[in-house]
Structure 1
């Protein structure tokens, strides 16, 4: 009996629980195949490369088991992972009861998936250590994601080395031009002027502080808790001839005591803070900014209709185990409420949701163009993780499941200097010239 024939009863039960959802083929290691539920011969295929693909799911049913099978390479696609991921919402609410779990176990045993015991967990899965959102554990979580390899990130992000949403004037322009525009947009929203003290919390590889010092003459400090990021950021600062104006530190924002700064930005960092820590986060920022100073917070937000549907803060997800350990997404309103409870005044907000979808698609294309080199640098597991996560994230932004916002806050007690007309905050349509 072929693997497909053996697995057919289990797949049929899935089709009963989620009618019409499985518009994919399933191809097994022996070459046998189950057609899609709608019989489409051109439907994309999920490929099970060995019985161990089922072993992961049998030992850990649910998203974690599937994630482990994907990361280890035991599960693959026929080349178009996006077509398969577009079906992800069709299986939401699918629940395996005791009868289904028993059927899964019997099928796995008949297919030889239980021989040899529990399969090894992929090396790239995050191992928790310490109290949630403590300094020690946050450093571990950040290192897991960002200390992959500067060269790997260079392949994915391109020359801009900016790992956050770009700002496109047109969908056809390059991500590097759009990233340059985003950096300028942040500087203009903060009204940066010559010799102001500017702090970038979570500075990454230094792109924003370099731009702010070069184009606006500020004296900038960038902080990151990634040693690898800091090393390259310092080299880029020296290469730009800005060592007298830009300092890169390895430090957590909670460890900073050298305020006040005139302006502060946090771009793509607050997702790591944790919902329960948001008030303390904004209070820490407020303590670092002079009265009348400005703070720009740029980060991903959940969107209300999808809050209950997707467990963004759950420990039992692909994202939490392999991409952003301990990351938590908040509603925009939750973040703004936390900021205002900490004493900040909300002055401006802009949604960049469509821009992030475009950004991610550019990164996916970069990874595809350099896949062999990416595998050589960071390993096949990391390449598979980033391919899946960035493709899925692009689809989520496009579908309005998550958004991203730039919110400007003012620190009470002084004149903030913001213009009456909002368009005064925006950069020109074309990228700034140097």
Structure 2
């Protein structure tokens, strides 16, 4: 294999150990992490899908593993960027694979059961429900283990890198409320409300009435229970519906946090127009979402699209702003939170590892492996400026928006 792809396959900063104990050493790094090929089916996965999807399936199935520092192992992906194999090289790999693993690898191995299988028109109401439930309807307890007591599945807002996650998440909720200038008695719409944390914070600390929408049945069950336990059922409502199905506006303020990534590029203008139509004149909307820094869309990542966020799409923040402006929303404020999300993801990884056995008991080992890989890889992507996240605040015309001349009281200090 050493001569394939101009020798790049022989210069990886990881060692490879096979099921029989044989090892390919790392190039010049005796203490490098070890990629473990636990079973012949790992080779079969890669043989039948010689791309990221084959590697992803082997990882999820547990037949491809890592010992040592997983982060360093993930760094090896840079050595494979742009790597392509010609027909002659593929045949050479097939010969080596047959010699090592035997003819059984010619049979396609089972695809992991948790792989998403999207059906229907992309970003239709039906398919979006399938995609959301694939990710969120796994186990509320699992999310409690990962997210902590705040149950907030979006980036926190840290005053300093060492701050605890719960304090930083509380600050993020308050920052959103202050940017929206929430006032007692106002009507707030939370698009993609998750487990209800923003609604609860806004009602407790700012006196609003709120409606939250989610496509996840499990999220809605837990959000309604938390609202009832807080004694706020007369002021807060959670619906299982799509934002395209909301018909009882207007709302004074709208928050969309960690949701627009599921909307899709072709739906961005419609998304912004619907939010604008649900706002009263002079109302404010805050869109908090992940964006890509590269101007051109990268090739789809099979691991993310098949195992984490089916049909998820990231866009430059300028696309989001352009859609808002096309819908008649005036962009008033934009803030990057890139460093904050890297810190948040690393806290979530720590939580997962601290509760790994219970997490596996809740959702199974394959899904735990997916979350570990996806959250750690995402933290690295934010740190390496591959992706970022923005809060974009916009106002509807037709009346005074009430925003001050300066960012008074934002961010929150306590």
- Which category of TM-score, normalised to the shorter sequence, fits these structures? over 0.9
Q: Distance in 1 between matches of 2:373 and 2:194?
A: 22
2:398 to 410, 413, 416: 413
The aligned residue for residue 241 of structure 1 is 231
1:85 equivalent to 2:74? Answer: yes
Q: Which moved more, 1:101-110 or 1:409-418?
A: 101-110
| Mapped pair 1:220 → 2:214 | no
- Contact in 2 for aligned 1:295/1:408 (Cα 8 Å): yes
Q: Output aligned runs, 1:323-362, within 5 Å.
A: 323-362=308-347
Superposed displacement of residue 114, structure 1: 4.3
CA distance in structure 2 between the aligned counterparts of 1:246 and 1:294, rounded to whole angstroms: 19
Q: Equivalent residue for 1:40?
A: 29
Distance verdict in 2 for CA 1:243–1:61, change over 3 Å: same
In structure 1, the residue corresponding to 2:322 is in which secondary structure?
helix
Q: Note the C-alpha offset of 1:80.
A: 1.9
State the distance in 2 between where 1:152 and 1:388 align: 16
* CA distance in structure 1 between the partners assigned to 2:378 and 2:6 by the alignment: 26
SS at structure 2 position matched to 1:328: coil
Which aligned pairs between 1:13-412 and structure 2 lie closer than 5 A?
13-14=4-5, 16-17=7-8, 20=11, 22-37=12-27, 39-112=28-101, 114-115=103-104, 117-304=107-294, 307=296, 310-311=298-299, 314=300, 317-412=302-397
The CA distance in 1 between the partners of 2:304 and 2:103, in whole Å, is 26
Give the drift of 1:13: 1.8
Structure-1 separation of matches of 2:2 and 2:191? 48
> CA 1:246 to 1:103, structure 2 compared with 1: closer, same or farther past 3 Å?
same
Once residues 320 and 160 of structure 1 are traced to their aligned partners in structure 2, the CA distance between those partners, rounded to angstroms, is: 27
Distance across 2 between alignment mates of 1:274 and 1:146: 18
Check whether the contact 1:52–1:113 (CA below 8 A) recurs between aligned residues. no
Following superposition, the deviation at residue 424 of structure 1 comes to 3.5
CA deviation profile, 1:272-327 (whole Å, cap 9, x unmatched): 0001110000001001000100000000000027x45x42xx2x510000000000
Which secondary structure does the structure 1 equivalent of 2:101 belong to? coil
Residues 257 and 264 of structure 1: CA distance in aligned 2, closer, same or farther (over 3 Å): same
Give me the TM-score of the superposition, normalised by structure 2.
0.97
Q: What do the CA deviations read for 1:42-81 (whole angstroms, capped 9, x no partner)?
A: 0111000011111100011100000000000000000421
Distance 1:254 1:25, change over 3 A: same
Match of 1:4?
A: none
In structure 2, C-alpha distance between the alignment counterparts of 1:291 and 1:427, rounded to whole Å: 27
CA shift in 2, pair 1:180/1:115, >3 Å:
same
Report if the CA contact (8 A) 1:55-1:113 is conserved: no
Once the two structures are TM-superposed, the CA of residue 19 in structure 1 deviates from its matched residue by 7.5
Change (3 A) 1:113 1:362: farther
Normalised by the length of structure 1, the TM-score is 0.93
Greater than 6 Å deviation, 4+ residue runs: none
Contact conserved, 1:260 with 1:287, CA < 8 A, in 2? Answer: yes
Gap runs ≥5 in structure 2: none
- Give the drift of 1:338: 1.2
**Could you say what secondary structure the match of 2:333 adopts?**
strand
CA deviation profile, 1:353-406 (whole Å, cap 9, x unmatched): 000000000000000000000001100010000000000000000001100000
Q: Distance in 1 between matches of 2:327 and 2:78?
A: 37
Runs of 5+ consecutive residues of structure 1 not aligned to the other structure: 1-9
Distance 1:103 1:274 in 2: 40
CA distances 1:227-249 after superposition (whole Å, capped 9, x unpaired): 00000000000111111111011
Deviation, 1:87, is: 2.5
Deviations 1:168-191 (A, max 9, x none): 001111111100000000000000
Per the alignment, do residues 92 and 113 of structure 1 end up closer, same or farther by CA in structure 2, a change over 3 Å counting?
Answer: farther
Number of matched residues? 413
- Structure 2 SS opposite 1:257: coil
Shift of 1:11: 4.3
Give, in whole Å, the separation in 2 of the partners of 1:143 and 1:79: 33
Q: Find the aligned partners of 2:352 and 2:251 in 1 and give their Cα distance.
A: 38
